[in-house]
Chain A
Amino acid sequence: QQQVKQSPQSLIVQKGGISIINCAYENTAFDYFPWYQQFPGKGPALLIAIRPDVSEKKEGRFTISFNKSAKQFSLHIMDSQPGDSATYFCAASKSGSGGSNYKLTFGKGTLLTVNP
C-alpha cells in the first residue's frame, strides 16, 4: 500500500516557467513533509520541508503548499532553471517521542527537465 502518491512521474518546463509537483498522503498521523532533490548518480539532498501548522513555506524559488484537510502538499519551483533538472521526491513521516519518527515514506519521484 503506497502511503504517499506523487505526480506527475515526469515534467518538462521551459526556462523561467513554474514547475509544480504534487503529493497526497493517507496517514493522518504524518506531521513532517520534506522534499528531496536528487541528481543522477548522487544521493538525495533535502530541499525544503514543512509541518502541518503552516499552509505554506518559501525558501528562495522553492515553495511548499500544504492542505491538511485534503491531505495534499505540493512543491512549486518558480523561475525554473536548467540546473533544476533533477528527480524530486516528496516524503512524509510522523515525529514524536520514543523513536517513532524513524521512518520516512517516499513518493516514487518526479523527473523534472527544464529546457533552456
Chain B
Amino acid sequence: DGGITQSPKYLFRKEGQNVTLSCEQNLNHDAMYWYRQDPGQGLRLIYYSQIVNDFQKGDIAEGYSVSREKKESFPLTVTSAQKNPTAFYLCASKSGHYTDTQYFGPGTRLTVL
C-alpha cells in the first residue's frame, strides 16, 4: 500500500521545546516538501528537498529545520525559535524533475500549550 505517512497525527508541545514531525514515503519519489497550513492562509512552503542529502528553504523556513538522509524520509523539526508554531503541517512528495504532481500526506496538527 503505497503512500505518504505522517506521524503523529496530533502533537502537543510546551513553549520552548523542539519537536520533530515524521514524514515517510514508499512511492520512490525523489522530491519531498513540507508545508504549513493556517486557517484562511492556504499552504505555505517551509522546506523542500529534491534529492537525498540536499534541501532548500521555502518561503517560511525561519524556526524550522529538516534533514534528508534517506530517500523515503524527510523529518521536520519545529524549534523553539518558531514564534507561532501552532498549525497543521503537511508533507508532500513528487516523482522527479519532469513531473509536476505533488502528493500529500494526512498531516500533523501541532498545538503549543
Contacts and interface: CB of A to CB of B under 8 A. Distances in A.
> For chain A, which range describes its interface: under 10, 10 to 19, 20 to 34, or 35 or more residues?
20 to 34
A104 B102 contact: yes
Contacts of A49: 100-101
A51 B17 CA distance: 44
Interface in A4-43: 6, 9, 32, 34, 36, 41-43
A66 to B, nearest CB: 15
Contact of B42 (A32, A42, A101, A109): A109
B100 A108 contact: no
Given A95-B98, A98-B97, A106 B103 contact: no
Contacts of B41: 108
Interface string B16-54: 000000000000000100000000111111001010000
Interface in A57-111: 89, 93, 95, 97-99, 101-104, 106-109
Nearest to A90: B42
Interface stretch (B65-73, B74-82, B104-112): B104-112
Nearest to A103: B45
A95 B100 CA distance: 7
Nearest to B43: A106
B85 interface: no
Contacts of A54: none
B35 to A, nearest CB: 8
Contact of A43 (B56, B101, B105): B105
11 contacts: A34-B101, A45-B104, A49-B100, A95-B98, A99-B97, A102-B31, A102-B48, A103-B58, A106-B44, A109-B40, A109-B42
Given A43-B92, A103-B45, 19 more contacts: A36-B104, A42-B106, A42-B107, A43-B6, A43-B90, A44-B90, A44-B104, A46-B103, A89-B42, A99-B50, A101-B98, A101-B100, A102-B48, A102-B50, A103-B48, A106-B42, A107-B42, A108-B40, A108-B42
- Nearest 10 A/B pairs, CB to CB: A43-B104, A108-B42, A106-B42, A32-B100, A106-B43, A43-B106, A44-B104, A99-B50, A43-B107, A99-B97
